[in-house]
Chain A
C-alpha cells in the first residue's frame, strides 16, 4: 500500500505542489490552533492526541528529506501551537528525537555509516551536558526558556540556510587526540562501490562544541541532529555519510540521558509523548520512501520557512507579545 501511495506521488504536478500543500497544512493548523483558544478548552483529549499524531506524521515526512531531526521541528511547532505546557513538550521532544535515532541506529551501524569509535568519546560529554541542560531548562521560568528557544531556533534557521556540506572533506593530518582515541577507520560507500578511509581533525574544538550542543539539546528538548552533522562534517572532517549516521548514534546517548531527567521530574506525559513518537516514526518511514520523489532542496527551504515562523512565534510568546 505504501509503495502504491509513493508511486502515485511520482506524478510531476503532484511533486511540484506537495511541499506547498504540506506548508499550507502547517500554516492552517497553526492559525486554527492560535485563533481558537475556546475550542482548545472544549476539544476532548483524544482530539488533541489525534491532532498531535497527524502533525507529527507530517513533520516526520519532511524531517527525513530536509536532513533535520524530528525534535528540532517538534518542540517549537507543538510548543507554539498546542495547548501543552513547554515542560511536557520538551519531554516529548526528547523522546521523539530518541525514538527516531534508535529506529535508524542499528541499520546505520551495520552499514558502517555510524561509527562507535567516533561516536563514543563525543557522546560521553554530550550526554553529561544534556543532563545539565535538562536540569537548567526545568529550573528556569518558562517565558525565559520560550525566549531562548525562539532565539535558538532562529539561529538554527541561519545555520541551515548558510551551512554547506562536504562529501569527502580533506583532512591533511589527524590530530593527536583523535589518534589517541583511534577515531579513524573505513566505511563502505555503496554508491562508489569502494572502501573509504576516514580520519578526523580539530577534535578538541569538536568536543567543546558537542558539550554545547548537548546542553542546548537537553535545555530545549530539541535533540541535536541539526548541529551534530555540521560539526562532524565541516569542522572535524568526517565524510558526510559517516557524519550523518554517527550524529544519530550520538543522539541515542545524549537524548536518553536528558530524557531520564524529564522522566524523573514528571515532565513526560504519555498522552503527549506516545502519539508524537508513533506519528513521527510513521511519517519518517514515508519520508524515507519519498526521498526520491520530493526535491530535497525544496523541502529544506520549506522546513526553514516553517522553523522561521515557529522561532518568531516562540520568541513573541516568550516576550508576551503573541501569547
Chain B
C-alpha cells in the first residue's frame, strides 16, 4: 500500500515534536482569540480603561518610566488585580501568547523522562527556568 506524503512526514517526527506542535497550536490560537476579544472590549468601551483612550496620544510618546509615573499604571503582575479595566484586560492575551512555550515545555518533559533522555530533560528544565524567571517579574531594569 502506498504511503501518503503526509504519513511519510509524520513517520519521521518524534513523539515530543508532535506533542509540542499540538500544544503550540492550541496556545497560539487561544491566545489570539483572547487578544482580539479583550481588545474589542477595550476599544468599544465595554471595559472602561485605566488611561482613557483619548488621552493616550499625550502619554504614549513618553519613556516608560515617565508614562508609569504620569498614569499610575501598574508594573509586574499587579495588572491582574485590575482586569476590569480594558487596557489591563487586553494584557491577558499577550501574557497567554508569551506563556505558550511554557505549556509546550511542560507537555514534552514527561516524554523525555520516560525515555531517560537526561540531556533533554536538563535542557527542558533550563528552558522552563529561564521562561519562569522572565515571567516572574523579579528581573527589573533600572534606569
A266–B140 CA distance with the chains assembled, in angstroms: 11
B95 x A271 contact (CB < 8 A): no
A186 in contact with B12 given A44-B54, A105-B28 (CB within 8 Å): yes
Residue of B nearest to A132 (CB): B139
Given contacts A85-B62, A87-B63, A266-B75, contact A98 B120 (CB under 8 A): no
A49-74 interface with B by 8 A CB criterion: 49
Contact of A278 among B36, B63, B99 (CB under 8 A): B36
The answer to whether B119 touches A124, judged by C-beta atoms less than 8 angstroms apart, is no
Number of inter-chain CB pairs below 8 Å? 207
Residues of A within 8 A of B116 (CB): none
On chain A, the residues within 8 Å of B74 by CB distance are 266
Residues in B whose Cβ lies below 8 Å from that of A195: 8, 12
Given contacts A98-B97, A105-B24, A109-B17, contact A127 B64 (CB under 8 A): no
* A274 & B61 in contact (Cβ 8 Å cutoff): no
Proximity string of chain B (64-103) to chain A, C-beta cutoff 8 Å, 1 when within and 0 when not: 1001100001111100000000010011011101111110
In the assembled complex, which residues on chain A have CB atoms less than 8 Å from the CB atom of B97? 95, 98-99, 102, 256, 259
CB distance from B126 to the nearest CB of A (A): 5
Judge whether A116 and B14 touch: CB under 8 Å.
Answer: yes
- Are the C-beta atoms of B12 and A268 separated by less than 8 Å? no
Q: Decide if the interface of chain B is mainly helix, strand, loop or mixed.
A: helix
Assess A48 versus B12: contact at CB under 8 Å? Given A134-B141, A256-B98.
no
8 extra interchain contacts, Cβ-Cβ under 8 A, other than A259-B94, A263-B98, A274-B36?
A: A87-B67, A109-B13, A120-B127, A136-B141, A261-B134, A263-B95, A266-B73, A270-B87
A residues with CB within 8 A of B: 40-41, 43-46, 48-49, 83-85, 87-88, 95, 98-99, 102-103, 105-107, 109-112, 115-117, 120-121, 123-124, 127-128, 131, 134-139, 142, 180-182, 185-188, 190, 193, 195, 252-253, 256-261, 263-274, 277-278, 281
The residues of B with any CB-CB pair to A shorter than 8 Å are 5, 8-10, 12-14, 16-18, 20-22, 24-25, 27-28, 31-32, 35-36, 38-39, 42-43, 53-54, 56-57, 60-64, 67-68, 73-77, 87, 90-91, 93-95, 97-102, 108, 119-120, 123-124, 126-127, 130-131, 133-135, 137, 139-143
